[in-house]
Amino acid sequence: MKHVALDPAWPLSVKESHGYDELEFWGDRASPGYTNAYRNRFQIAIDLVTASARPPARVLDLAAAQGNFTLKLAELGYQVVWNDLRSELADYVRLKHELGNVTYQPGNIFELPSDQVGKFDVVLATEIIEHVAHPDQFLAKLATFLVDDGSIVLTTPCGNYVRNKLPRFSDCPDPSVYESVQFKPNADGHIFLLHVDEMTTLAARAGLKVESLVLFNNSLTSGHVKTGPLLRILPQGVVKLVESMTRSLPSFARKPLNAQMAVRLTKA
């Protein structure tokens, strides 16, 4: 994957995506917690995809933005379809593309004819479900893109995390009130943060089952509760040890201490 330089002539959305690359992927130390959290999420998602299907399996990277997951999976030998509502980002991803098979399918994937999109061995949706008003319908739609033994791999903020202040989806009497604000990017576009029990329930409604679920990114790893300065002085080995410990705690303790959730779903 190429590390490309900023071009002042790019559209604003591309400049913003490049900024996130500098922060997340290339390791801008101005926010070590953000960088750490992203790298953990990136590796866990890639690992779940590789556990789901082997190359050259077909993968849909939904709302893929700057395409880091797309390009990494293509480099591993997968046939990847990049998708995002912001069609202008496709050219930016092309600039970064070095190896592997990538097809670009911008636009609203749910509005495209099924014969145009096809079926996938894996549908990857990282940090998306928290931006939709109807996460139950979202999962059901993703399931329609799967081959019979396919998998959905999701990452999303964990609603059980102690710092979460957003409502539970299951407690909302009318989610349609959020339809006008869904699909906004970044954390200010979060609508619901799903709890672990909700993920299982919503999967069942969509005809899916949870094959694996990982809770990760504790407050230290993420630089939350003013721990960011510590990340500049603590050895990475110490940070990784604390991360490993909080991932392996009993469920009652693991849920409130980890900020993110990664899930692999298959057809029930």
pLDDT tens per residue, range 215-244: 999 999 999 988 988 998 999 999 999 999
Cβ burial, residue 46 (10 Å; 0-12/13-18/19+) = middle
Residue 188 lies in a domain: no
Residue 38's CATH number: 3.40.50.150
Residue 115 lies in a domain: yes
Residue 2 lies in a domain: no
144 CB-side CA count, 13 A:
12
Strands 258-267 and 208-218: antiparallel
Residue 182 lies in a domain: no
Give pLDDT, residue 260.
97
Give pLDDT, residue 3.
94
Average pLDDT rounded to a whole number, residues 112-136: 91
Which token pair is 196? 């672990």
Q: pTM here? A: 0.94
Residues of the domain holding 42:
12-125+135-167+194-267
pLDDT at 28 over 70: no
Contacts of 170 (CB under 8 A, 6+ apart): 195, 198, 201
Give pLDDT, residue 42.
97
Residue 189 lies in a domain: no
Which token pair is 140? 């059901």
pLDDT at 113 over 80: no
Residue 3 lies in a domain: no
Average pLDDT rounded to a whole number, residues 40-59: 98
Domain count, the chain: 1
CA 74/CA 98 separation, integer angstroms: 9
CA 215/CA 161 separation, integer angstroms: 10
Over the stretch 154-205, which tens digit does the pLDDT of each residue have? 999 999 999 998 989 999 999 999 998 888 877 788 999 999 999 999 999 9
Average pLDDT rounded to a whole number, residues 97-125: 91
Residue 1 lies in a domain: no
Residue 103 lies in a domain: yes
Average pLDDT score over the chain: 94
